[in-house]
Amino acid sequence: MLAYFEALVNFLWGLPIIVIILGTGFYFTFKTGFFQVFHLKHIFSETIYKIIKKGNKAEGDGKGLITPFEAVATAIGGSVGVGNIGGVATAMAVGGPGSLFWLWIAAFVGMILKMAEVSLGVYYREKDEKGDPYGGPTYYMEKGLGEEKGHKWWLIPAAIFGGGIFSTFFITVQNYTVSEAVSAAFGIKIIYASIIYIVCNYILIIGGIKSLGKLAGKIVPFMCVFYVGAALYIIAINIGNLPATLGLVFKGAFTGTAAAGGFAGAAFSQVMRIGMARSVFSNEAGWGSSPMIHASAQTDHPIKQGLWGAFEVFIDTIVVCTLTCLVIIITGVWSSGATGATLTLNAFATGMGSASKIFIATGIFLFGVTTSSGWYAYYEIILRHLMKSSPKLKDGILKFYKIFYPVPGFVMVVMATTIGMPGSTVWLFADFTTAVPTFINIAVMLSLSGTFFKLFKDYKTKYILKEEVKPEDKIKVFYEED
């Protein structure tokens, strides 16, 4: 049965989805003049540098539930997490060092893809009965495909996308990955670690999206600095091995990786597939998840929030995932046969001593909790859209959802430990739940690319070229309407 499921996952993450990710990503890249390359400085100056200089404030007279930084902190909390630690470690264990190269390629196009989907999410957002803004892929499917283009069948991709996203609610790896790391580091049973994890989840989600934004704004910067600092230290003390490490990455990317130690070897197609899949699961570019929280941000232009999406991918994959992979390769543990969070813990223990397991496990715990809380917000937004015409029913469902949310993750831990499911098998479920919504979302983004390019032209004219927008180029702005 497992062999059939693995074959299905390999098919879903085969040539079609890789072509649509790379093809759409490079199309957006060419049409924006390689914006994520030539305007990288602008992306940073309008995101993190602005926060450092001006503080955590709304953009202009933008309206929303949370500030732009709280939105990106929640989104980074939802993406910089178990995918960066357990996910990329599994990529190393299954695909070898060459997988890192394909993580980079997916992240390169992912920066512009996430910029586009976040911008569309803000542009097509709408207010609920309380006047609070919500948005995301299902919203731009309804307004972009349905209202603007007149496609009555917009409900079909919206239903498939929503179903795909919600499948991650029942088939989730966050609790398992975190509990695995805590169990290995502190020597406690994985079930007990899982119980501690769900208690912390309840504490975080009780205040709703507004509260999550404020908490993420405090926790996420700390955990990123903490983890990045430890990784850089290990790379620095092993700097002599860095050239050979990069050699393994580039050689393995195009030739596959031969068997070594406990590593079974990987063909080129497997290296490419696993690298692309782990990149999307980690930074969520094209997946359609992050626009759901970004759409609630206080911003006065969709592209301004889209810049945060590009920044998010850069931090998540180009920085955090790369450092995780380099630590695993440079310490030589990538071929040990270990997988998931255990492999990452072993790499840090090799580089910094066994005591570091406790510190890294604590970091993984923080990553995992913010990941789960970020996804709590995503599911809530889909539910709000689904039941927007029935406020009383919506309130009841949301109350039940808040209570039930951490349960499926705990069930996954119980199943994995009861039947002895290895970490690589658990991550097959993650790949399955990522593929379908990603395919649908990117196809819709491609259909709505004209709107994104109009938004991009408007932003570039106003804020980069600092010129007046011509009357014929002015765009209708959904998110400003009452």
Most confident by average pLDDT, 367-371, 393-397, 441-445: 441-445
Question: Which one has a higher pLDDT value, 184 or 425?
Answer: 184
**Residue 62: is its pLDDT beyond 60?**
no
Most confident by average pLDDT, 6-20, 312-326, 329-343, 355-369: 312-326
How many Å apart are CA 111 and CA 119, to the nearest integer?
12
Q: What is the pLDDT of residue 242?
A: 93
Average confidence (pLDDT) over 379-385: 79
Q: What is the pLDDT of residue 456?
A: 94
Tell me the residue range of the domain where 204 lies. Answer: 9-467
Asked whether 221 and 73 are in contact (CB, 8 A), the reply is yes
Average confidence (pLDDT) over 198-225: 67
| CA atoms within 13 Å, Cβ hemisphere of 61 | 2
Average confidence (pLDDT) over 393-411: 83
Please give the single-letter amino acid code of residue 397. I
Q: What is the pLDDT of residue 69?
A: 61
Helix pair 174-186, 356-386: axis angle to 10 deg: 160
Q: What is the pLDDT of residue 72?
A: 58
Residue 66, beta-bridge partner list:
297
Residue 299, beta-bridge partner list:
63
How many Å apart are CA 473 and CA 125, to the nearest integer?
21
Residue 72, CA distances (Å) to 2, 28, 85, 310, 426 in order: 37, 22, 20, 10, 28
What sign results for the dihedral spanned by CA atoms 89, 95, 98, 101?
negative
CA-wise closest residue to 276 among 114, 137, 435: 435
Average confidence (pLDDT) over 88-102: 87
Flag whether 219 is in a domain. Answer: yes
Flag whether 188 is in a domain. Answer: yes
The number of domains in the chain is 1
Least confident of 146-150, 282-286, 416-420: 416-420
**Residue 60: is its pLDDT beyond 60?**
no
Confidence category of residue 115, pLDDT binned at 50, 70, 90: very high
pLDDT one-digit tens code per residue, 449-477: 999 999 999 999 988 988 887 777 677 65
CA-wise closest residue to 449 among 43, 143, 147, 117: 117
Question: Which one has a higher pLDDT value, 454 or 367?
Answer: 454
How many Å apart are CA 309 and CA 103, to the nearest integer?
17
Q: What is the pLDDT of residue 481?
A: 45
Confidence category of residue 37, pLDDT binned at 50, 70, 90: very high
SS3 472: helix
Flag whether 17 is in a domain. Answer: yes
CA-wise closest residue to 462 among 475, 481, 480, 446: 475
DSSP secondary structure string for all residues of 75-93: HHHHHSSHIIIIIHHHHHH
**Residue 352: is its pLDDT beyond 90?**
no
Residue 133, beta-bridge partner list:
127
Q: Provide the percentage of residues in the chain whose pLDDT is more than 70.
A: 83
**Residue 380: is its pLDDT beyond 70?**
yes
Flag whether 480 is in a domain. Answer: no
Average confidence (pLDDT) over 377-389: 78
- Tell me the two tokens of residue 164: 């795909």
Confidence category of residue 215, pLDDT binned at 50, 70, 90: low
**Residue 101: is its pLDDT beyond 70?**
yes
How many Å apart are CA 114 and CA 111, to the nearest integer?
5
Flag whether 482 is in a domain. Answer: no
> How is residue 59 annotated by DSSP?
S
Q: What's the length of the chain? A: 482
Residue 398, CA distances (Å) to 17, 137, 392 in order: 33, 20, 10
Integer-rounded Cα Rg, in Å, for the chain is 21
Stated as kind and residue range, the H or E segment containing 245 is helix 242-255
SS3 32: coil
Q: What is the pLDDT of residue 67?
A: 62
pLDDT one-digit tens code per residue, 241-265: 999 999 999 998 888 787 676 776 6
Q: What is the DSSP pairing of strand 126-127 with strand 133-134?
A: antiparallel
pLDDT, averaged across the chain: 81
Q: What is the pLDDT of residue 1?
A: 64
Q: What is the pLDDT of residue 65?
A: 54
> How is residue 18 annotated by DSSP?
H
Least confident of 59-63, 326-330, 464-468: 59-63
Q: What is the pLDDT of residue 105?
A: 93
Average confidence (pLDDT) over 69-95: 68
How many Å apart are CA 29 and CA 41, to the nearest integer?
16
Question: CB 337: neighbour CB atoms within 10 A?
Answer: 12
- Tell me the two tokens of residue 269: 């197609």
Integer distance in angstroms from the first to the last C-alpha of the chain? 52
**Residue 28: is its pLDDT beyond 90?**
yes
**Residue 479: is its pLDDT beyond 50?**
no
Average confidence (pLDDT) over 384-408: 81
Q: What is the pLDDT of residue 444?
A: 94
> How is residue 315 annotated by DSSP?
I
Question: CB 463: neighbour CB atoms within 10 A?
Answer: 15
pLDDT one-digit tens code per residue, 428-440: 777 777 788 898 9
